[in-house]
Structure 1
């Protein structure tokens, strides 16, 4: 067999092998392996991490200290100064686990526990700050929406409970405001004060500590069970892993006026489906906002050497986007870009936005002094590895503010200039360490080696085919000519004879015969 033919056969064999193994069988093997690993059925390692995250998330809180409280009472523009961060570890765990094989679901109650930490750059929590009193501002704004005729009664109750205050602002230690609690004097005898305290107890806004009642921003969320969630495990369909199908025993919320806004889409944010394409986005359901959010793809990125995609999210613009108008407090009263009214969700007129009104309508920023929105510090950012569905790094940031509005029936609210006053913002963050990224790196190292090898072999086989063809046709079109050399014969002195016959050498006489 000629060499060009051998080369062609070898190249064709390599080509077929690499197509079958490198481009077909290996990707299918990886896909099958990922599907088998990334589901929440009992026995899977990912289930254990889903039920109890084995590491703490960072949880940071920033408060806005009001520097001119008495001037605000007279109608001037609020001036604030950010104070923080106040740092905590956030441990996530799911309780009361229940599996259902027939519909491939898992049900649970989320529990988040916060532990105070003093990392470099964190504040100690003993600083005193001045903020709008969440109860005073929240109560007045709520009654103004629900029963404006009761505002005169609320005016009396505030004077009774807070001992005839001169402003709506609270000055206290940060630890007390956040978790330890600020004392609320509900030991009053007048009807208005008793009625208001009764409502606060019913709404679970107050916590009984010994003989006194206290209010704080986060104590009610610390180590308490949240509403029940039912989600797919993803054993039957990997695209469904973690997707919520019921919240608080209902397949839809009943908060908003339309079915579209009441729909529950996405996961709880701790897990996402594997083999996700960047254009599909990441869907998350947020109970605190009573809505689903989608994080959309921004650009390609890397994390600890692992290729991934960068995603971000926003709160939209319900004043212009028809699909988001169902989040308006009324069809005629919609907040502007980047702001969401959570009154229907939480029962309190509190607004959600990004910190410092980042990516919000500029009118909100103009209404308060001392704010400096910054993309890097204040956006939502997720670095997501799409093959395994792993969030490698995430920073979720939200600011909570309250409307400051003039109300003539409440003495402390008569002179306010209308604005949105920020109270605090939070950052929930996670970044996988090398213990967890190392497992992903081994997968990507193998994938990268196979990827490089398959292209090298493919290119080599095609090059071998080209070389074999060249050699074959070059040799086939060439005539091989054997060279002829002149042979000189020497006459012997006597003619040789065989069996007495004369030799074949002809003499001159012999030639004459012809």
Structure 2
């Protein structure tokens, strides 16, 4: 076998081998290993991290201080000033973990614990702030929706419980409003006050025999939530973390339609690997009683790791037919960017993005002092889709309360119509090198294999082309022996001499076959 043929065969074999390994075998091997690594199977490192996240999440709270409480009481537009952040470490732990092997499922309750933190830029939690009193404003709004006939009774109860307040606002330390609690004195004797307090006692913790205590977030601190049942992803990696049941139900019952009551996605602490841009990041939020989809925005890079940016919003139930079921009634839908949580929490509170980002302009116009900025107020997730790893996340949400005039409650007769922002939270995580190094190593290996594969394939193609050129060049040629130039070549002389002798016999006589021995005849 000629050398060019051998070279061509070797180069072609290398091309096919590396094509197969680099683009078929190696990706399948990576896929298989990722599926094994991410499954919530006992003994897996990912499962241990899922059950107890080994680091805290940054939890920051920004409150809106009311600058003109007396002016609002007389009908002025609310003026607010953002105060914060008040900072906390958020530790997430799943308790009551139970496997259902035959169905490849896992059950647990989520517990969030908040510990005060003093990072650079954080504000002292003893700072005094003024906000609408959540219990006064909340009660008036709730009774107006559910039992408007009881507003006169409530008007008397407010005067009794809060000792004839001059306005509806609360001034207290931020830490008391957020976690430690505000005292509600319920040791009163009048009928209206006792009637309202009896209702509150079923919803608020007791401080002592007579008094109750209320805070915005204290009830969540260290308290196990309702039970989740999710897929472990051992049999089907694409189902990893997908919620099967919440609170022992496959659907919730807060909304009027099946579509809005369906539970989709994960609990937000884990996602399946190999998600596509179109699938997005879908998670169920118990605080909102709904699933939200974070949609793909653009490719990005995080600490040298290829990532994709996703974001989410609360939609527009006033125009989107698929979101109409989140309205309190079909006729009372909130405008773009706000969601009424009354049917979810039993409290008339509205959710939005911070500073009414991406919300209808009327909400922003109803309050002075807000400045929406996408860079610091949007939901932002940098996600690595191969392994399903959130690398960077800033989940942001604002809570607001409606404010309207009400002739049946003395403190509300001259109120302006507005949506008052109370506070917004930011739950954040930014993975450090300890947790990004395995991903960096994975992408480094993938990059080396990719470059090596392409390099060998290019060299193989060049060698095949070179071998073909040499082979076909040789097969189309012939060897030619050059002849020396002379007046009478020796071979011609010898031929003449041979022919001259051909007419004689060995004794020098003429050959009888030759007439007259004349060679010229022939």
TM-score interval (norm. to shorter): over 0.9
* Partner residue in 1 for 2:340: 341
Decide whether aligned partners of structure 1 residues 509 and 190 sit closer, same or farther in structure 2, where only a CA change above 3 A counts.
closer
Decide whether aligned partners of structure 1 residues 169 and 4 sit closer, same or farther in structure 2, where only a CA change above 3 A counts.
same
Give 1:406 deviation, angstroms. 0.9
* Partner residue in 2 for 1:499: none
Superposed, which structure 2 residues align to 1:376-387 within 5 Å? Answer: 376-387=375-386
Partner of 1:423, secondary structure, is strand
Give 1:389 deviation, angstroms. 0.4
Partner of 1:264, secondary structure, is coil
Partner of 1:278, secondary structure, is coil
* Partner residue in 1 for 2:391: 392
Are residues 1:247 and 2:241 paired? Answer: no
Superposed, which structure 2 residues align to 1:260-271 within 5 Å? Answer: 260-271=259-270
Which moved further from structure 2: 217-226 or 465-474?
Answer: 465-474
- Measure, in 2, the Cα distance between the counterparts of 1:139 and 1:368: 22
Residues 271, 281 of structure 2: 8 Å contact kept = yes
Give 1:432 deviation, angstroms. 0.8
Residues 399, 422 of structure 1: 8 Å contact kept = yes
Residues 311, 384 of structure 1: 8 Å contact kept = yes
- Measure, in 2, the Cα distance between the counterparts of 1:153 and 1:213: 20
Are residues 1:237 and 2:236 paired? Answer: yes
Give 1:2 deviation, angstroms. 2.4
Superposed, which structure 2 residues align to 1:126-275 within 5 Å? Answer: 126-204=126-204, 206-208=205-207, 212-275=211-274
Decide whether aligned partners of structure 1 residues 504 and 161 sit closer, same or farther in structure 2, where only a CA change above 3 A counts.
closer
Give 1:196 deviation, angstroms. 1.3
Partner of 1:42, secondary structure, is coil
* Partner residue in 2 for 1:494: none
Give 1:210 deviation, angstroms. 8.8
* Partner residue in 1 for 2:303: 304
TM-score by length of 2: 0.93
Give 1:479 deviation, angstroms. 2.7
Partner of 2:164, secondary structure, is coil
Partner of 2:228, secondary structure, is strand
Are residues 1:117 and 2:83 paired? Answer: no
* Partner residue in 2 for 1:500: none
Give 1:211 deviation, angstroms. 7.3
**C-alpha RMSD of matched pairs (Å):** 2.0
Partner of 1:279, secondary structure, is coil
- Measure, in 1, the Cα distance between the counterparts of 2:500 and 2:390: 111
- Measure, in 2, the Cα distance between the counterparts of 1:273 and 1:48: 16
Which has the greater radius of gyration? Answer: 2
TM-score by length of 1: 0.94
* Partner residue in 2 for 1:83: 83
Are residues 1:92 and 2:92 paired? Answer: yes
Decide whether aligned partners of structure 1 residues 45 and 506 sit closer, same or farther in structure 2, where only a CA change above 3 A counts.
same
Superposed, which structure 2 residues align to 1:396-407 within 5 Å? Answer: 396-407=395-406
- Measure, in 2, the Cα distance between the counterparts of 1:330 and 1:509: 131
Residues 227, 246 of structure 2: 8 Å contact kept = yes
Residues 87, 122 of structure 1: 8 Å contact kept = yes
Task: Note the alpha carbon deviations across 1:428-457, whole angstroms, 9 max, x for none.
Answer: 001111001001111110011111111112
Give 1:11 deviation, angstroms. 1.4
Residues 208, 214 of structure 1: 8 Å contact kept = yes
Superposed, which structure 2 residues align to 1:308-323 within 5 Å? Answer: 308-323=307-322
* Partner residue in 1 for 2:68: 68
Decide whether aligned partners of structure 1 residues 507 and 260 sit closer, same or farther in structure 2, where only a CA change above 3 A counts.
closer
Give 1:15 deviation, angstroms. 1.2
Task: Note the alpha carbon deviations across 1:115-169, whole angstroms, 9 max, x for none.
Answer: 0000000001111110000110100000000000000011111101111000000
Residues 207, 215 of structure 1: 8 Å contact kept = no
Are residues 1:59 and 2:67 paired? Answer: no
Partner of 2:62, secondary structure, is strand
Superposed, which structure 2 residues align to 1:489-508 within 5 Å? Answer: 506=497
Residues 155, 409 of structure 1: 8 Å contact kept = yes
Aligned residue pair count: 502
* Partner residue in 2 for 1:482: 481
Give 1:6 deviation, angstroms. 1.9
Give 1:88 deviation, angstroms. 0.2
Decide whether aligned partners of structure 1 residues 235 and 490 sit closer, same or farther in structure 2, where only a CA change above 3 A counts.
closer
Decide whether aligned partners of structure 1 residues 426 and 299 sit closer, same or farther in structure 2, where only a CA change above 3 A counts.
same
Partner of 2:264, secondary structure, is coil
Are residues 1:284 and 2:295 paired? Answer: no
Residues 77, 366 of structure 2: 8 Å contact kept = yes
- Measure, in 1, the Cα distance between the counterparts of 2:322 and 2:305: 36
Which moved further from structure 2: 461-470 or 53-62?
Answer: 461-470
Superposed, which structure 2 residues align to 1:319-330 within 5 Å? Answer: 319-330=318-329
Give 1:489 deviation, angstroms. 12
Task: Note the alpha carbon deviations across 1:393-416, whole angstroms, 9 max, x for none.
Answer: 100000000000111110001111
- Measure, in 2, the Cα distance between the counterparts of 1:207 and 1:201: 7
Gaps of 5+ in 2: 504-516
Decide whether aligned partners of structure 1 residues 331 and 189 sit closer, same or farther in structure 2, where only a CA change above 3 A counts.
same
Give 1:68 deviation, angstroms. 0.4
- Measure, in 1, the Cα distance between the counterparts of 2:293 and 2:422: 26
Task: Note the alpha carbon deviations across 1:282-313, whole angstroms, 9 max, x for none.
Answer: 11000000000000000001111000100000
- Measure, in 2, the Cα distance between the counterparts of 1:98 and 1:362: 48
